[in-house]
Amino acid sequence: MISETAVEAARPAAQARRTASRLLAALGPLLVLLVMFVFLWITSPPFRTPTSLLLIGLEAAAIGVVAAGQTFVILTGGIDLSVEAMVSFSGVVAAILIAGTNIAGGQIAFGVPSVVAIAVALSAGLAIGMFQGTIITAFSMNPLIVTLGFRSILLGISLVATRGAGINIQRDEFLAFITGSIDVGSLRIPMPLIIALAIYALIWVVLRHTKFGRYTYAIGGNETAARLSGINVNVVKIFIYGISGLLASVGGILVMGRLVSGAYQNGTNMTLISVAAVVIGGTALTGGVGGIWGTLIGVFIIRIVEAGLVYLNVPSNAKEIVIGAIIVLAVMLDVIRRGEVKWLRFRRRPAL
């Protein structure tokens, strides 16, 4: 439609507008976060304490890691609904190994060290994720259905293995370390937050500076073209679901370590929140567009809203209503921003 001469003439203006809109898309969520932060800072004295801020950081860590995996999957145009079950499952697996509880319920004297237990749980998460990816690619199945099925399977296993109760454990040195904190000056920085941030930095490098990252965007942008460009789409996708499973397991360990208990409820709601965080962070549900830092911002937005509700004395039972509304709102903003809602498309003034 656009003739070449016209493109030539309109270039600087169009380029500037594109840069501006991209900047807005990137900074929008950050602005929202800042506004909410400032609002709470002013209205709620208890919010201002370092402890409360670090608590938000700590609470953001586990879900943040889970959402990071979800970002990968959504970037390829898929979705992983099994993450919350994976959080529970990995916690239960590790807890059983550490506590040495057998299925019959009696305690065995010797559990394994937490390092070993965690390694097993993470490997299981990676393997199950890759297995889901294999099913999705080999049979061209809808990831929605496959991961929904695995959500049920994994929750079921967790429920059976724990017989509905939590498996309580003692923290050993390693577990105490990864769930503890480090003192930086007068601040106690929670270790899970550091782990989460390290994972985000690593993922940023992978997405921006490796073949694997480029292929992730390529598959989300145009899977057919990716295949015809010689990219082994199936292998990339299998690893994508593997990463999601692995990171959900890491999240599961962080939750389990904090609660000192592996229970099937450990991951409750995390699927919804992880998807919401990804979308709030500006990653398109259709795939191919977005990034990892947006997800981190999305996670903090959700956590601050939750904290805000507490500080503003909203009954905790009403929390779900607000979270649900935010998610619908975020997706709405997403489609509007992309100009997919015709009657809301911004009247564009001619640039000439």
Q: What share of the chain is helix, strand, coil (3-state, %, to 5)?
A: 75, 5, 25
Task: Give dist(CA 98, CA 4) in Å, integer.
Answer: 67
**Quick check: 351 binds other proteins (CB under 8 A)?**
yes
8 binds other proteins per the rule CB under 8 A: yes
Q: Which stretch binds other proteins (CB under 8 A): 120-128, 159-167, 212-220, 303-311?
A: 212-220
**How many whole angstroms from its chain centre is CA 171?**
26
Q: Which amino acid is it at 327?
A: I
Which residue, 93, 95, 174, 161, is CA-closest to 127?
Answer: 93
The smaller minimum CB distance to other proteins, of residues 6 and 27, is found at: 6
Name the E strands within the chain: 167-168, 181-184, 187-190, 261-262
Judged on CB neighbours under 10 Å (0-12, 13-18, 19+), 37 is middle
CB of 200 to other proteins, least distance (A): 18
DSSP 167: E
Q: How far is the CB of 220 from other proteins (least distance, A)?
A: 9
- What is the separation of C-alpha 107 from the centre of its chain, rounded to a whole number of angstroms? 35
Say whether residue 348 binds other proteins (CB under 8 A). Answer: yes
Looking at residues 218 to 257 of the shown chain, list those that interact with other proteins (rule: CB under 8 A).
Answer: 218, 221-222, 224-232
Q: Does 139 bind other proteins (CB under 8 A)?
A: no
Between 163 and 209, whose beta carbon lies closer to other proteins? Answer: 209
- In whole angstroms, the minimum distance from the beta carbon of 73 to other proteins comes to 18
| Smallest distance from other proteins to CB 222, Å | 5
Contacts of 140 (CB under 8 A, 6+ apart): none
Residues 17-46 that bind other proteins (CB under 8 A): 17-18
Binding residues for other proteins, rule CB under 8 A, total 41
Residue 185 sits in the site that holds other proteins (CB under 8 A): no
Q: Examine residue 205 and tell whether it contacts other proteins (CB under 8 A).
A: yes
CB within 8 Å of 154: residues ≥ 6 apart: 82, 85, 86, 88, 89, 128
Q: Of 44 and 286, which has the nearer Cβ to other proteins?
A: 286
* 152 counts as binding other proteins under rule CB under 8 A: no
Beta pairing partners, 261: 168
Could you say whether residue 4 binds other proteins (CB under 8 A)? yes
What is the C-alpha R_g of the chain?
22
Who's near 150: CB < 8 A, 6+ residues apart? 82, 85, 128, 132
Of the two residues 96 and 207, which places its CB atom closer to other proteins in the complex?
Answer: 207
Q: Among all chains, which residue has been given the structure tokens 């593997």?
A: 242
Q: How far is the CB of 22 from other proteins (least distance, A)?
A: 10
Residue 31 CA to chain centroid, in angstroms? 20
Name the segment binding other proteins (CB under 8 A); options: 7-15, 38-46, 236-244, 249-257. Answer: 7-15
Residues between 275 and 294 with contacts to other proteins, criterion CB under 8 A: 288-289
265: Cα within 13 Å, side-chain hemisphere: 6
Question: Does residue 211 bind other proteins (CB under 8 A)?
Answer: yes
Least Cβ distance, residue 28 to other proteins (angstroms): 18
287-326 residues in contact with other proteins (CB under 8 A) are 288-289
Tally the C-alpha atoms within 13 A of residue 75's C-alpha that lie toward its C-beta. 30
Considering the complex, state which of residue 22 and residue 48 has its C-beta at the smaller distance from other proteins: 22
Residues that bind other proteins (CB under 8 A): 1-11, 13-15, 17-18, 205, 209-211, 214-215, 217-218, 221-222, 224-232, 288-289, 348, 350-352
